[in-house]
């Protein structure tokens, strides 16, 4: 006997309503926390702590992972992205007066499709939603089918409802173990979690703690601009690191390069 499966037209609106209701609840819970994070604060205490000048020590001869060759060209040895969820780093840019050096990209994420070499799939985050991450997932039909989206959504329900206590409790589970426990399809791992694991910690889903993924998803899905990305408009040593050094030195502190700490004196 054939089993009749309801059309997505029938149950998709219910899923959207469910996710929207949860998102609104979580949004209200996070507003207080976000307000505290966005309060003006001094991230660098004028180069001193209680009147004592600060000294910064860097073991390398350079201020960051960027290298400059003999021709004056800069080479990146890492990918430096600044997300909208990084409120403290945005406060730092503001305190240094260099917030204009952050070049914000359009709010979308682009994934390479493993089974279609050379093709990419976009997750566009609608600006009209308070929690645009859910809208981005629902609007993308290239990487996940509707049944896979629904199973993924129900798998994430405990994290949405349980909040931070649930997230912290998943530290003992890898992504792969958590997926099996929650009944999330393997294709979600292949299409989404492998890329996220590599981006977050350069390891595979069967090695990375699910807590790490849930922390990122919680910020990216719940916050309006949490997953929006920015790059610095040039090399990091000159455009970010030197302003920090100048700020510290102008207030009586010092920054020493090629000065590895070998021993710490006990007070």
Structural domain boundaries enclosing 127: 14-40+106-227
pLDDT digits (tens, 9 = 90+) for 1-18: 444 444 544 444 444 454
Segments of the chain with pLDDT less than 50: 1-6, 8-16, 18-19, 22, 29, 33, 36-50
Q: According to the model, what pLDDT value does residue 54 have?
A: 64
Give a yes or no: residue 211 inside a domain.
yes
Give a yes or no: residue 192 inside a domain.
yes
Give a yes or no: residue 88 inside a domain.
no
DSSP string, 211-249: HHHHHHHHHHHHSTTTT-EEEESS-HIIIIIHHHHHHHH
Give a yes or no: residue 111 inside a domain.
yes
Give a yes or no: residue 9 inside a domain.
no
Q: According to the model, what pLDDT value does residue 209 have?
A: 93
Domain count, the chain: 1
> What is the C-alpha separation between 186 and 183, in angstroms, rounded?
9
Q: According to the model, what pLDDT value does residue 78 have?
A: 66
CB of 189 within 8 A of CB of 179? yes
> What is the C-alpha separation between 150 and 130, in angstroms, rounded?
20
> What is the C-alpha separation between 95 and 46, in angstroms, rounded?
11
Give a yes or no: residue 251 inside a domain.
no
pTM of the predicted model as reported, rounded to 2 decimal places: 0.67
Give a yes or no: residue 154 inside a domain.
yes
Give a yes or no: residue 36 inside a domain.
yes
């Amino acid at each position: 006997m054939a089993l009749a499966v309801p059309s997505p037209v029938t149950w998709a609106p219910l899923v959207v309503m469910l996710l929207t209701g949860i998102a609104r609840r979580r949004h209200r819970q996070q507003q207080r926390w976000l307000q505290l994070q966005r309060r003006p604060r001094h991230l660098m205490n004028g180069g001193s702590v209680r009147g004592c000048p600060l000294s910064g020590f860097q073991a390398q001869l350079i201020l960051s992972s960027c290298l400059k060759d003999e021709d004056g060209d800069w080479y990146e040895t890492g990918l430096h992205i600044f997300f909208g969820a990084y409120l403290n780093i945005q406060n730092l840019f503001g305190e240094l007066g260099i917030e204009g050096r952050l070049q914000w990209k359009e709010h979308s994420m682009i994934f390479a499709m493993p089974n279609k070499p050379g093709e990419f799939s976009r997750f566009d985050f609608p600006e009209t939603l308070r929690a645009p991450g859910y809208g981005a997932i629902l609007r993308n039909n290239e990487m996940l089918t509707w049944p896979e989206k629904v199973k993924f959504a129900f798998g994430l329900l405990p994290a949405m409802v349980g909040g931070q206590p649930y997230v912290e409790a998943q530290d003992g589970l890898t992504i792969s173990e958590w997926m099996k426990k929650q009944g999330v399809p393997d294709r979600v791992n292949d299409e989404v979690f492998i890329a996220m694991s590599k981006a977050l910690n350069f390891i595979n889903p069967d090695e990375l703690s699910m807590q790490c993924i849930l922390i990122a998803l919680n910020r990216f899905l719940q916050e309006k601009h949490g997953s929006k990305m920015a790059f610095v408009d040039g090399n990091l040593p000159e455009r970010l690191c030197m302003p920090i050094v100048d700020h510290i030195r102008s207030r009586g502190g010092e920054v020493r390069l090629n000065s590895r700490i070998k021993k710490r004196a006990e007070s």
